[in-house]
Structure 1
Amino acid sequence: MISTPIRRYGAAILMLLTCAFSGSVLAKTHTATTSHKAPIIKASSSSKVSSKQEYSRNSAKSSSLPDLRKYPSGTPRKKAFLRTVMPYITSQNAAITADRNWLVSKQYDGRWSPSERARMKKITQRYKISWSGNTRKIPWNSLLERVDIIPGSMVATMAAAESGWGTSKLARNNNNLFGMKCGSGKCPAGSGKVKGYSHFDSVKESVDAYVVNLNTHPAYKSFRKSRAQLRKTDQEVTASAMIHKLKGYSTRGSSYNNFLFSMYQDNQRLIAAHM
């Protein structure tokens, strides 16, 4: 017959073995559950990235305007259009601001290095201002009236209005976002291009040509005068202040400006979010 102390000792050993076995099973179950959850989180994350990429294919790296008709009309297409054109608009205004600030800094400086003379010559040529090369006879008023930004929101609104948010045939075939016609009346021949209108190799070229046009063409002299007046009174040059100052861009006259202003107001927040 087994004595009571021995029986109690055996029961204790059995209990310890049972606890150890149960702990091992629980540990394996927890490990298996953890390893099973990780792939689910990963798959969910990659799914969100793909959805985001679907609406992020238009970027500043693309030289030509992509086919924006593949996006649903409304906000998705507008966002795709703004993602495409806004980097060029912002870059153009940054370059203009840099030149303008440099001109202001040199206005009362009598010392000019060869590189500074070269820069001044390049600016006067770009803005179609006659300059003899004499640093004592620089047409400062004309320069500062022309070397100035076009408000980014205004440029974006006009590009959207003239190109149907990038879907018009002129925009798609000519990279022409602003309905610009050839200055001489004749355009270089190009297969598939819309005849009678300027065509550009890239969206950047289209934006650049538009800005130079407004800053140099005699037809927009009053626009530049109004902008210069804002500068003199230390007021900000904004889209809301300048859209109605643009005269002669369309044969529709003031009704065109009213249309642009209404379009700007409707899309102001969306445009601002992409600047």
Structure 2
Amino acid sequence: MISIPKRRPGAAILMFFTLMFSGGVLAKTHAETTSHKAHVVKTSVKKQASSKQEYSRNSVKSSSLPDLRKYPSGTPRKKAFLRTVMPYITSQNAAITAERNWLLSKQYTSQWSPAERARMKDIATRYKVSWSGNTRRIPWNALLDRVDIIPDSMVATMAAAESGWGTSKLTRSNNNLFGMKCAKGACTNGPGKVKGYSRYDSVQESVAAYVANLNTHAAYASFRKSRAQLRKADQEVTATAMIHKLKGYSTRGQSYNNYLFAMYQDNQQLIAAHM
């Protein structure tokens, strides 16, 4: 008779617990390794993002310009300036275009909802166009002459010229990119601000104020008239067409426009690359 050895229960139980312990250790080690790798990847991504964010298009979230003086003068500084400022300019013109298109779509409408009347009243108020509220007597020509864009590249050129590519004291202290003076008795500058000039809480506010100034102030009526003539002739409103139409912005007169146009030509490709 062949003798079959009997299995010892104790050995089987020991082997079972050994396997369970080993599996737990391996699982824990794998989880810790995976977690560590994920942390390393996440940290690396954060570092990469933060290194690019300061002067990327994401800088539109920032309220003020970064200190661009740390960049060498020339192309590096110009690129940093345009990367920071251009999103505000394009965003402002996009909002104006949307309002202009809405006005054009309503020009021959006879039925107006309360919300549409309120919107029309808001636009007329912001663009300083007198309107009684009568939808049958809307001053369309006055509205469409004012609710229109300032070419992106023209705004960028003037911001660069007036702010020294973002390095002037006025820009750094007041968020004032365009050398705009405050109205008599309306200055609210505090310590460290340049007196006599408008102070803005953000670069976005500075861009909006500049565009509103050209679109509403009586001093720039001829500029708006020239732009309206281009529209009526179905021609594009460009920096090339409009820079020389700007009168009254500087005491230098036409020589200032010539300076702006030369600056635009010198930096045209660089500006276009950031639009």
TM-score range with shorter-chain normalisation? 0.7 to 0.9
Q: Per-residue deviation at 1:184? A: 2.4
Q: Which residue of 2 aligns with 1:124?
A: 124
Segment drifting more, 92-101 vs 55-64:
55-64
1:212 aligned to 2:212? yes
1:179 aligned to 2:173? no
Q: Unpaired segments of 5 or more residues in structure 1? A: 1-41
Distance of aligned partners of 1:50 and 1:112 in 2 relative to their CA distance in 1, 3 Å threshold: closer
- 2: CA distance, partners of 1:256 / 1:111: 47
Q: Which residue of 2 aligns with 1:60?
A: 60
CA contact (8 A) 1:68 1:80 kept: yes
* TM-score calculated relative to the size of structure 1: 0.80
Q: Per-residue deviation at 1:56? A: 3.1
CA contact (8 A) 2:176 2:203 kept: yes
Percent identity over paired residues: 80
- 2: CA distance, partners of 1:120 / 1:135: 9
Q: Which residue of 2 aligns with 1:93?
A: 93
- 1: CA distance, partners of 2:179 / 2:222: 21
The structure whose Rg is larger is: 1
CA contact (8 A) 1:124 1:131 kept: yes
Helix, strand or coil: the match of 1:60? helix
* TM-score calculated relative to the size of structure 2: 0.80
Q: Which residue of 2 aligns with 1:107?
A: 107
Helix, strand or coil: the match of 1:193? coil
Q: Which residue of 1 aligns with 2:169?
A: 169
Write the letter of the residue equivalent to 1:224: R
Q: Which residue of 2 aligns with 1:255?
A: 255
Write the letter of the residue equivalent to 2:55: S
Give the total of aligned pairs. 231
Q: Which residue of 2 aligns with 1:18?
A: none
Q: Per-residue deviation at 1:189? A: 3.4
Give deviations 1:83-122, integer Å, cap 9, x for gaps: 1110010000000000000001100000101110111011
Write the letter of the residue equivalent to 1:257: N
Write the letter of the residue equivalent to 1:53: K
**Equivalent runs, 1:125-140 vs 2, <5 Å:** 125-140=125-140
Q: Which residue of 2 aligns with 1:156?
A: 156
After TM superposition, what 4+ stretches of structure 1 lie above 6 angstroms from structure 2? none
CA contact (8 A) 2:121 2:133 kept: yes
- 2: CA distance, partners of 1:149 / 1:74: 29
Write the letter of the residue equivalent to 1:209: A
- 1: CA distance, partners of 2:159 / 2:96: 19
Give deviations 1:220-261, integer Å, cap 9, x for gaps: 000000000000000000000000000010000000000000
Segment drifting more, 72-81 vs 50-59:
50-59
Aligned Cα root-mean-square deviation (Å): 2.0
